[in-house]
Amino acid sequence: MEIRASHILVKDQSLARQILQKAKTGSNFESLAREFSTCPSKSSGGDLGWFGEGKMVAPFEAACKRLGVGSISDLVQTQFGYHIIKVTGKR
């Protein structure tokens, strides 16, 4: 299975919680990614494109598998920082 996801990546847990709150209460995910994310994907609204198994770090991939299309994750911590993930497709 392939998954398409967007994410917002930040180093600070407190900031991540604030962004997550905005994302879960209706703020535009892509706009939040452009404003706050430290990942180069921020220029495309956090879109990471399609990826298969083993292409992302384990906690990130596991969170994507659990989420339904259109769902937003809770905070996911990896060695890169704190991610807020939105799954945008599965095939």
So what's the pLDDT on residue 62? Answer: 97
Q: Minimal CA–CA distance to 23: which of 91, 89, 82?
A: 82
The domain locations on the chain are 3-90
pLDDT tens digits, one per residue of 34-55: 999 999 999 999 999 999 999 9
Using 70 as the pLDDT threshold, list the residues of the chain that sit under it: none
CA 75 to chain centre: 9
In this prediction the pTM is: 0.96
So what's the pLDDT on residue 54? Answer: 96
Dist. CA 80–CA 12, nearest whole Å: 11
Dist. CA 46–CA 55, nearest whole Å: 16
Is the CA virtual torsion 56, 34, 69, 2 positive or negative?
A: negative
Q: Which CATH class is domain 3-90?
A: alpha beta
User: CB of 86 within 8 A of CB of 7?
Assistant: yes
Amino acid at 71: S
CA 63 to chain centre: 9
